[in-house]
Amino acid sequence: MTEHGLNLDLNALNQQESDVIIKTLLATDKKAIITTNFRPFEAVLIHQVVQVRPDIPVVWMDSGYATKETYEFADKLTKQLNLNLKIYHPKISRAHFEAINGSELPIIDTPEHDVFTNLVKLEPFERALATEKPEIWFTALRKQDSALRAEMDKVSINSDGLIKAAPLLDWNNKQMWQYELDHDLPDNDNYYDPTKGDAHRECGLHLKH
């Protein structure tokens, strides 16, 4: 991967376990972020990454539609791991959106739903990228999430030239659960994403980036 000023063998790195991938990428001193939606099992990758770089920006696009348990989990994990949490809010609040559009969410796969997804997730993420200017982007994507993710590599260069790393790509739920148990980490048992409809659906974030 010399075009990015890194002397890394991507194919070799992709064969490695999560701890080696995280240490290798962060040893480069490149600016890194980790994104999280605080869905179940989020504590695992965040814990692994902050062991190596404690002050890494942890980026959350808070749609305003998260469950009470998600907000509680976000607070608890942030305090327990002393996270450098960076919250990106939509440009229009939930109250404002609902006053104009009503409190019922737009139907999935309609132009109205696309506008909503852009408002609460995609635009805030563009803002996060422009503000944080990462060179490395960690996510906890896993093969079991969707057909698209089943085909991904753990480490790749995305269309923006960002190094996109999903060190837990091939972990299963049992491994995630065991890791949380071993490290006394909290979890979220009531997660909801208003942009998804179905958990296996892509909202567009990982199609664009």
Ligand X SMILES: Nc1ncnc2c1ncn2[C@@H]1O[C@H](COP(=O)(O)OS(=O)(=O)O)[C@@H](OP(=O)(O)O)[C@H]1O
C-beta separation of 120 from 65 below 8 A: yes
Q: How far is CA 134 from CA 11, 34, 120, 129, 173, in A?
A: 22, 9, 21, 7, 29
Q: Which is nearer to ligand X, 11 or 144 (CB)?
A: 144
Residue 59 binds ligand X (CB under 6 A)? yes
Residue 61 binds ligand X (CB under 6 A)? yes
Q: How far is CA 147 from CA 3, 85, 201, in A?
A: 30, 30, 9
Residue 193 binds ligand X (CB under 6 A)? yes
Query: Residue 21 phi/psi, 5° resolution?
Result: -60, -45
Among 23, 108, 205, 209, contact with ligand X (rule: CB under 6 A):
205
Torsion sign over Cα 64, 139, 168, 117: positive
Q: Does 203 qualify as catalytic in the annotation?
A: yes
Among 35, 48, 70, 188, contact with ligand X (rule: CB under 6 A):
35
Among 24, 25, 26, 42, contact with ligand X (rule: CB under 6 A):
42
Report the site for ligand X in 67-126 (rule: CB under 6 A): 121
Radius of gyration, alpha carbons of the chain? 17
Residue of 33, 98, 203, 208 marked active site: 203
User: Residues interacting with ligand X, by CB under 6 A?
Assistant: 35-37, 39, 42, 59-61, 121, 139-141, 145, 193, 196, 202-203, 205-206
